Amino acid sequence: MKKLNILATALMGILALSSCESDRDSNPIVSVPKSFELLVPEIGSNVVNLKNSESIKFQAKAAPDYGFPTETTYWIEISEDQTFADAAKIATTDTKGKSIIYDAPANEIDLGIMKIRNITEDLPSIDWDEVITLFVRMVACPTNMSNAENYVYSNVQSFKVTAYYLKEALPELWYMVGDFIGDGSWAGADYGNIGKGMIPMYVKPNEEYNRFTGKGTIEYVGYFYTTGESGMKILSPRGVSNHPTAKNASPWMYGMCGDGHTFTDGEGYVSRNGGDDKGNITVDAPGFYRLTLDDTKEGDEELKIEAYEPDEAPAVFSTIKIGDVTLTAMNTKPEVENHDWFGTITLSASAELLLESDNGTTWGTDAFPYGIATVGGNKIPAEKGSYQIFFNDITGAFMFTEIQE
């Protein structure tokens, strides 16, 4: 009997080893090739007017060989330097493709030129008729293995364009208004009341925003209270009178409504896209909440609200300054704990700035004109201009929005 058990155990061991060997044989081994071939662009020596074009076609001869069949994602990098040696002078398209034939959006190429040449304003000295020679290389990566170590770069080709002034869009902010927002006045949904009766939501950490529409996921963290009054709404900039991107002169038509939901329901809020008013969003219990809004699908935006429970209670500040400017508290109702700040600043030249509270706490970061400032972080590299400033001292989120003359 013991011999049979020993033989059975040995047999199982052999089968297990065989199975492991089989598994190893079937697992693909990634072999990252050194390069792949990008063909001469079909536009040849023709000059592409980027302002009047939608895309430029680039094509690889074949997909890079990773040693096994795999879906591959493609995009391009451009530079005015054929060697691509300086990372600061390389621009990358955001749009990705799944074919060796890649249509590069013309506006992304143009925005890349703005980055490469550090063009931040449309100066009279800029010759927009200049024919610019750009060098291009295609980048490939297995779709499900998108870490940089699997990137493969093609050979370099060239093409010619004329550019036009294009500015990257700031993240699109939505605005809260209601009984317990700002001064509680409901603000008339007018752009001039932002920072008073209207408070913006802010950029979210590690979130990417569409460089042409500004759409993405934004958030707000703050204190809300309940009084049995009529609640709040969150307005799209399209529904704010006199906003630069307002869709029409009638406010309130675009935003998030409650549809009978309170903060404790978490989800199910309704996007009002020019339709009927579905009621206000109400608070079921006072406290800190995090509001997250995804506006990437216009007319079908998604709002989520959840309790915010920090490890320790957020500090409350009397004043916050940036440079020589003292910011104003946005929440002025006595029942609300203020953590939002607003002000305007004019810089005659570039400046490095920190946000600083009355108790000496400072916030900063390397990013501008928006980002997440951290306590004790680096100075904000602000550029010349006149700006509105918004800042939330809980999350560190801030934005400089340029004041249009």
Is-contact 173 219, C-beta < 8 A?
A: no
Q: What is the pLDDT of residue 112?
A: 97
CATH 2.60.40 correct for 47-162 = yes
User: Model confidence over 77-93: pLDDT tens digits?
Assistant: 999 999 999 999 999 99
Place of tokens 């400072």: 362
> Model pTM?
0.79
Q: What is the pLDDT of residue 235?
A: 93
Q: What is the pLDDT of residue 30?
A: 67
User: Model confidence over 290-301: pLDDT tens digits?
Assistant: 999 999 988 889
Task: Copy the structure tokens of residue 355.
Answer: 């946000």
Which residue ranges in the chain fall short of pLDDT 50? Answer: 1-25
Delimit the CATH 2.60.40 region(s) of the chain. Answer: 47-162
Q: What is the pLDDT of residue 228?
A: 60
Q: What is the pLDDT of residue 24?
A: 42
Q: What is the pLDDT of residue 146?
A: 78
Rounded Cα distance, 116 and 3, in Å: 77
User: Cβ–Cβ contacts within 10 Å for residue 180, how many?
Assistant: 22
Q: Tell me, what amino acid is at 158?
A: S
